Amino acid sequence: MNLADQACVPCRGGVPPLAPDRVEILLGALEPDWQINAAGHLERRFPFADFAGAMAFANRVGDIAAIEQHHPDLHIAWGACRVEIWTHKINGLTESDFVFAAKVDRAWLQRGQHLAV
């Protein structure tokens, strides 16, 4: 099953973050622009031609977050929306972080159907 077809499972805390080898495997299942940043969070920058496109995409990611009960950090600027994902309760990555990232990838690939960017 594709990661984007799975549901995010809310973390209640008390579980360890994913092991580095599992992070690498799941990172390989995402679009190639995702990376692990210095803080150990999943991060991807999405380019846009203007601020309005970046804002519209951020709103779409927010809609997905509300449905999935996930809480990404969104950084919006002229020409870009950067999405940063991690599980706050454990200050690390879980499988649901990668599921959420895959859903963001799907929204990016389908943006012409949903957004005027």
Cα 77 to chain centroid distance, Å, stands at: 17
Instruction: Pull the structure tokens for residue 53.
Output: 């496109």
Q: Is the pLDDT of residue 111 over 50?
A: yes
Length of the chain: 117
Lowest mean pLDDT among 18-22, 80-84, 88-92, 111-115: 111-115
**Residue bearing tokens 């519209």:** 56
- Give CA–CA dist 23/107, Å, rounded: 22
Q: Does the global pTM surpass 0.75?
A: yes
Could you read off the pLDDT of 48-66 as tens digits, one per residue? 999 999 999 999 999 999 9
CA angle at 9 for the pair 20 and 60, rounded to the nearest 5°: 95
37-117 CATH fold? Gyrase A; domain 2 (3.30.1360)
Dump strand ranges (E) for the chain: 35-36, 42-47, 73-77, 80-85
Could you read off the pLDDT of 73-97 as tens digits, one per residue? 999 999 999 999 999 989 999 999 9
Confidence bin at 1 (pLDDT 50/70/90): low
Element housing 67 (H / E)? helix 51-68
Q: Is the pLDDT of residue 20 over 80?
A: yes
Q: Is the pLDDT of residue 15 over 90?
A: no
- Give CA–CA dist 100/86, Å, rounded: 10
Please name the residues in contact with 97: beta carbons below 8 A apart, sequence gap of 6 or more.
Answer: 42, 70, 85, 86, 87
Instruction: Pull the structure tokens for residue 8.
Output: 């995010």
